[in-house]
Amino acid sequence: MSENTAPAPTSILTADEKLTLQTAAHGVVSLMAAADPGPISSTRSGMAGGKALSSATGLVGRVLAEKPKGMDLGGSSTADLADRTFTALSDSVTLLKAKAPAEVENFRDTIVTVMEAASRAHKGAAGPAETAMIRKVTGALDGA
């Protein structure tokens, strides 16, 4: 964002659009935790990813700082979570391109930061399942 560009207020997004961004971001945290199975390692991944979300700035950071109302990441499997998250990722990029183009790269950077933080939380580097999940999330981001 240039120095002369004021940050976009969150009011440019509807409640449903904000929920889409929140679902995408929180879904990625959950997917990264699921890709690092085990009670301790998945907890560490989830906590690291969640902390990374709190470092987001700009419009994206303000939306992610709001309490999500109506977010549903449930399902009976990681595949269900992935379906919801990948759709929300693509939809988030599409809506930001339309309503706040300067925030698209910020959103992508935030998601990448979440994945990096989560993947390094336990072993210091991404394992095979985490690497595969990073590839899938990146594909959903790039596909929009």
User: Over the chain, what HEC string results?
Assistant: CCCCCCCCCHHHCCHHHHHHHHHHHHHHHHHHHHCCCCHHHHHHHHHHHHHHHCCCCHHHHHHHHCCCCCCCCCCCCHHHHHHHHHHHHHHHHHHHHHHCHHHHHHHHHHHHHHHHHHHHCCCCCCCHHHHHHHHHHHHHHHCC
Say if residue 58's pLDDT is above 80: yes
Say if residue 41's pLDDT is above 50: yes
In a domain, 2, yes or no: no
In a domain, 6, yes or no: no
Say if residue 70's pLDDT is above 80: yes
In a domain, 8, yes or no: no
Mean pLDDT over 29-44 rounds to 79
In a domain, 43, yes or no: yes
pTM of the model: 0.86
Percent of the chain with pLDDT over 90: 53
In a domain, 25, yes or no: yes
In a domain, 80, yes or no: yes
In a domain, 4, yes or no: no
Q: Which domain holds residue 17?
A: 13-67+76-142
In a domain, 5, yes or no: no
Least confident of 37-51, 54-68, 103-117: 37-51
Domain count, the chain: 1
